[in-house]
Amino acid sequence: MSRQYFGTDGIRGTVGTAPITPDFMLRLGHAVGRVLRRVHDRPTVLIGKDTRLSGYMIESSLEAGFASAGVDVLLTGPLPTPGVAYLTRALRLDLGVVISASHNPFDDNGIKFFSAQGAKLPDQWELDVEAALDEPPQWVHAAALGKAKRLDDASGRYIEFCKSTVPHSLSFRGMKIVVDAAHGAAYHVALDVFHELGATVVTIGCSPDGVNINDGFGATAPQALVRAVAEHGADYGVALDGDADRLQLVDAAGRLYNGDELLFLLAADRLTQGRPVPGVVGTLMTNMAVELALRERGVPLVRAKVGDRYVLEELVARDWQLGGEGSGHLLALDRHTTGDGIVSALQVLNAVQRSGHSIAQWLEGVSLFPQTLLNVRLPRLDGWQEHAGLARERVAVERELGDEGRVLIRASGTEPVLRVMVEARDPQQARQSAERLAATLLA
């Protein structure tokens, strides 16, 4: 059964366009509340948000919807997505709600949910909510209406949690770190985490005004961080996205490290300490160089569908701990139940401090393969898997690449576009191969 409103990471869209409207959000809060009431007599939910101006509108609408279904609400104000996941679990609440469109521009917004255990909820729960949305509302009696209140010191609790994920002996004293929060949810906590661990902190992208989230700063625009690290002579730079669940790192030389490289570093650090790493989960887009480097160390890489929720599902199914995406979503399930940009940065910098090796030294010998990605627009996508010419050309390209590259062809979930990606040690071979595959589709 397909979902009407929920995508791979909750519900997301342009503010003022269905379903990101106040009337829908009221209905959504009521429907979610009714689903909760099936298993909890008096549920309590936690609502956090990023810094988008539209967050006020959505927050009040959801609050009214929950109250109408007899659900109590705790409000955190701006707080990173992983902070909401942590507090939901730590406070033994029934649901965590995040108002954010993550790395999208400010005129988008969205909703995502976390279970009482601080994890993403299964598809069936989302289907239950969508079914409840189609039913007539069932308002509770006035005496049973939910109440709402502000949660005191939500930021402070989350800061302490982040610090608790690294050894008490860890100190960044003598280290200068630039923190870029993308004018998003971590603008008021990321600085404190690194400062309280002893670092001299320089901030950029930490002055939100409601409309500048992700605008030229953060993990999706890391060149601002590269410039700031050079300007301030910093040792490292940490870039988060709007809801602070993804990470990019920059070193003193101005080199930018993406999620694939950092995922390898986390695995290599654990192996160096003698800790078991039975396997690592990446995605269909994870760079092949990382897969080969892990294989040399006896660690298999399993590829999930693109999206951190699918990485998480694969980790849980295999009882593994480490996974992530090149975009910077990193999961260390022995540290947190979900991806957390701040916690991931702490794990990487802890490895640097403990070992005395820089990130570049950790990654010696791991040179990312060039990737060529072409978007091929077609009249329709029906039957593309049976395209005989594409199948023949793909076999030929894969034979030529051998163990030195790979082909990935996947359909867009939102438009009639096939994404053709070829990865190879030789960038010219990658581009030429991708163009050959695309040409067969357009012939």
102 is catalytic: yes
The CATH code belonging to domain 11-152 is 3.40.120.10
What pLDDT, in 10s, does the model give residues 151-167?
999 999 999 999 999 99
Predicted confidence (pLDDT) at residue 443 exceeds the cutoff of 80: no
pLDDT score for 403: 87
Predicted confidence (pLDDT) at residue 307 exceeds the cutoff of 80: yes
Cα–Cα dist 340/327, whole Å: 13
pLDDT score for 281: 98
Domain parsing of the chain, residue ranges: 11-152, 157-253, 257-340+347-362, 371-442
Predicted confidence (pLDDT) at residue 253 exceeds the cutoff of 90: yes
pLDDT score for 322: 98
What is the rounded average pLDDT of the residues 311-316? Answer: 95
- Fold of the domain built from segment(s) 371-442: TATA-Binding Protein (3.30.310)
Main-chain phi, psi angles of 229, to 5 degrees:
-60, -45
Pick the catalytic residue: 54, 100, 102, 115?
A: 102
pLDDT score for 440: 94
- The proportion of the chain whose per-residue pLDDT surpasses 90, expressed as a percent, equals 92
Predicted confidence (pLDDT) at residue 333 exceeds the cutoff of 80: yes
pLDDT score for 442: 87
What pLDDT, in 10s, does the model give residues 424-435?
999 999 999 999
What pLDDT, in 10s, does the model give residues 82-112?
999 999 999 999 999 999 999 999 999 999 9
The tokens for 169 are 């002996």
Any idea which residue has 């104000």 for tokens? 77
pLDDT score for 2: 73
CA 257 to each of CA 223, 225, 231, 313: distance values in angstroms, whole numbers, following the listed order: 12, 12, 19, 25
Q: Give the E-state strand segments of 284-399 in sequence order.
A: 301-304, 322-324, 330-332, 371-377
SS (H, E, C) 184-245: CCCCCCHHHHHHHCCCEEEEECCCCCCCCCCCCCCCCCCHHHHHHHHHHCCCEEEEECCCCC
Among 217, 245, 257, 246, which Cα is nearest to 352's?
A: 257
CATH topology agreement for domains 11-152 and 371-442 = no
Q: Using an 8 Å Cβ cutoff, are 240 and 342 in contact? A: yes
Which stretch of 135-149, 314-328, 377-391, 420-434 has the lowest confidence by average pLDDT?
A: 377-391
Round the average pLDDT of the chain to a whole number and report it.
96
Cα–Cα dist 35/222, whole Å: 41
What pLDDT, in 10s, does the model give residues 264-303?
999 999 999 999 999 999 999 999 999 999 999 999 999 9
What pLDDT, in 10s, does the model give residues 121-146?
988 999 999 999 999 999 999 999 99
Any idea which residue has 């971590």 for tokens? 186
Predicted confidence (pLDDT) at residue 34 exceeds the cutoff of 90: yes
Cβ within 8 Å of residue 227, ≥6 positions away: none
Sign of CA dihedral 147, 149, 151, 152: negative
What pLDDT, in 10s, does the model give residues 350-361?
999 999 999 999
H/E element holding 169?
none
What pLDDT, in 10s, does the model give residues 47-80?
999 999 999 999 999 999 999 999 999 999 999 9
Among 165, 147, 143, 52, which Cα is nearest to 99's?
A: 52
Cα–Cα dist 312/270, whole Å: 19
Predicted confidence (pLDDT) at residue 1 exceeds the cutoff of 70: no
39 burial class (0-12, 13-18, 19+ CB within 10 angstroms)? exposed
Write down the CATH superfamily of domain 257-340+347-362: Alpha-D-Glucose-1,6-Bisphosphate, subunit A, domain 3 (3.40.120.10)
Predicted confidence (pLDDT) at residue 413 exceeds the cutoff of 80: no
- Fold of the domain built from segment(s) 157-253: Alpha-D-Glucose-1,6-Bisphosphate; Chain A, domain 3 (3.40.120)
Among 423, 422, 256, which Cα is nearest to 328's?
A: 256
What pLDDT, in 10s, does the model give residues 197-249?
999 999 999 999 999 999 999 999 999 999 999 999 999 999 999 999 999 99
Q: Using an 8 Å Cβ cutoff, are 118 and 337 in contact? A: yes
CA 133 to each of CA 43, 65, 113, 343, 381: distance values in angstroms, whole numbers, following the listed order: 19, 12, 16, 36, 30
pLDDT score for 131: 97
pLDDT score for 226: 98
